[in-house]
């Protein structure tokens, strides 16, 4: 069965592509989900028009993504977290935390576009990639610091171990 994709489908193709697929995959998933239409000669003519508009739309989206990428390169986020022994964080910094702090600074970025392999669980400075568009990736500087000032943990420990004078 040949279909024309109306949306990008992972591991199959991009919008407007004519792909050959198994009959069941088309009838049971792509066609009912409105992800594709059957590849007839009339539909192919309609899709050619849709491809032209899609190319123009993608070009506009890329320009917007490039502008946002340039603005994000200058942004630095700092997170303060509780730290235990050996600078191990209680909790972590996730893509949701990064998206929330970006939104507070006026940048609307979907958390799914923030490419963290796994949450950040140590102190330090990280460069987190953000995939804004198929062809545009920006890098964001994220710094994780301790919420306690240097040396304060030693003072607290000394106070708790001191015996009260009786």
CATH number at residue 90: 3.10.430.100
Q: Supply the DSSP symbol for 35.
A: S
Q: State whether 88 and 123 are in the same domain.
A: yes
Let me know if residue 21 belongs to a domain: yes
pLDDT for 39: 87
Q: Tokens for 23?
A: 């009959």
Q: State whether 85 and 138 are in the same domain.
A: yes
Q: Supply the DSSP symbol for 27.
A: I
Q: State whether 34 and 95 are in the same domain.
A: no
Listed residues 46, 62, 78: the one ending a domain: 62
Q: State whether 47 and 81 are in the same domain.
A: no
pLDDT for 23: 93
Listed residues 45, 62, 79: the one ending a domain: 62
pLDDT for 54: 77
Ordered per-residue pLDDT tens for the chain, 166 residues: 999 888 888 889 887 888 999 999 999 999 999 899 898 888 888 777 877 887 888 889 899 989 988 988 888 999 988 888 777 788 888 999 999 999 999 888 888 889 888 888 888 899 999 988 888 888 999 999 888 766 554 444 444 444 545 4
Listed residues 44, 62, 80: the one ending a domain: 62
Q: State whether 77 and 148 are in the same domain.
A: yes
The CATH number that applies at residue 41 is 3.40.5.10
Q: Is 54 helix (H, G, I), strand (E, B) or coil?
A: helix
Let me know if residue 144 belongs to a domain: yes
Q: Which domain holds residue 34?
A: 2-62
Q: State whether 136 and 114 are in the same domain.
A: yes
Q: State whether 85 and 151 are in the same domain.
A: yes
Q: State whether 58 and 78 are in the same domain.
A: no
pLDDT for 166: 46
Q: In what order do the strands lie in the sheet with 18-20?
A: 18-20, 2-5, 36-38
Closest CA to 128 of 96, 103, 90: 96
Let me know if residue 161 belongs to a domain: no
Let me know if residue 138 belongs to a domain: yes
């Amino acid at each position: 069965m040949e279909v024309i994709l109306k949306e990008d489908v992972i591991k199959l193709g991009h919008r407007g592509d004519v792909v050959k697929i198994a009959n069941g995959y088309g009838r049971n998933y792509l066609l009912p989900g409105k992800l594709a239409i059957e590849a007839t000669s009339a539909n192919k003519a309609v899709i050619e028009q849709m491809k032209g508009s899609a190319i123009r739309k993608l070009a506009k989206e890329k320009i917007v993504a490039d502008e946002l990428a340039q603005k994000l390169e200058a942004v630095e986020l700092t997170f303060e977290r509780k730290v235990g022994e050996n600078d191990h964080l209680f909790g972590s910094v996730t893509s949701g935390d990064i998206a929330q702090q970006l939104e507070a600074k006026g940048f609307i970025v979907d958390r799914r576009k923030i490419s963290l392999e796994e949450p950040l669980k140590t102190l330090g400075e990280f460069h987190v990639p953000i995939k804004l568009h198929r062809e545009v990736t920006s890098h964001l500087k994220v710094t994780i610091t301790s919420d306690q000032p240097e040396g304060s943990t030693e003072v607290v420990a000394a106070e708790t171990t001191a015996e009260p004078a009786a």
